[in-house]
Structure 1
Amino acid sequence: MLCAAYKSIKKVDTYLYVSNKDDFSKVPEALLKAFGTPQFVMSVPVDKREHIAQIPKSEFVAKLQEQGFYLQMPPTSASLLKMHLQQQSQQQ
């Protein structure tokens, strides 16, 4: 099984995976608008990998089949303010 990976021109480290290259028919219009014009990155051989888009292959395939696409977002970084406040409360 192959799927196509695209990067966003609007959102850093955000990728969209679809089952067939250039077939965005199952991707909601609002998501495509926020994502921007998808830029093709590569075809991904799903069967040859244990993890895809930083998740287990089984979870990735299930999402792809269920939704018709998979959106990979960048990991969230901890809020610096929240970390600072936690450190302050620990010091008191």
Structure 2
Amino acid sequence: MKQHLIVEVFRSSKHDGMYLYVEKKVGLTDIPEDLMARFGKGVSAMTMLLTSESKLARTTPEKVTEAIREKGFYLQMPPAKDDYLLDLYKTPTESVY
């Protein structure tokens, strides 16, 4: 059986790369307050028809649909930074002079 869901994707105003997927007809009304406090103002990024054939960059349509059905939303976190880049950033540079 093919499932489809009209979803709206909101971009976080506080965190680059963080997105909330919700059912379009519900919007952000049922998102927990503590999550919205962390997420910030939701900026609508797109509306799409989500089907099992949909191509998503960092997840599957099944995971998004299941989370929306169970919790009312799917939260996509920013991609993890490469550890070695973080180490380079944290390591103090020493002068050779």
Matched, 1:58 2:62: yes
Quick one: percent identity of the two aligned structures?
Answer: 29
Higher mean C-alpha deviation, range 33-42 or range 17-26: 17-26
Shift of 1:48: 6.7
Given the two structures, how large is their TM-score scaled by the length of structure 1? 0.75
User: 5+ unaligned residues in a row in structure 1: which ranges?
Assistant: 85-92
Higher mean C-alpha deviation, range 25-34 or range 48-57: 48-57
1:76 matched residue in structure 2: 80
2:47 matched residue in structure 1: 43
Bigger helix fraction: 1
- One-letter amino acid of the counterpart of residue 56, structure 2: I
Supply the RMSD in Å over aligned alpha carbons. 2.3
User: 5+ unaligned residues in a row in structure 2: which ranges?
Assistant: 89-97
- Distance in 1 (CA, whole Å) between partners of 2:45 and 2:55 is 17
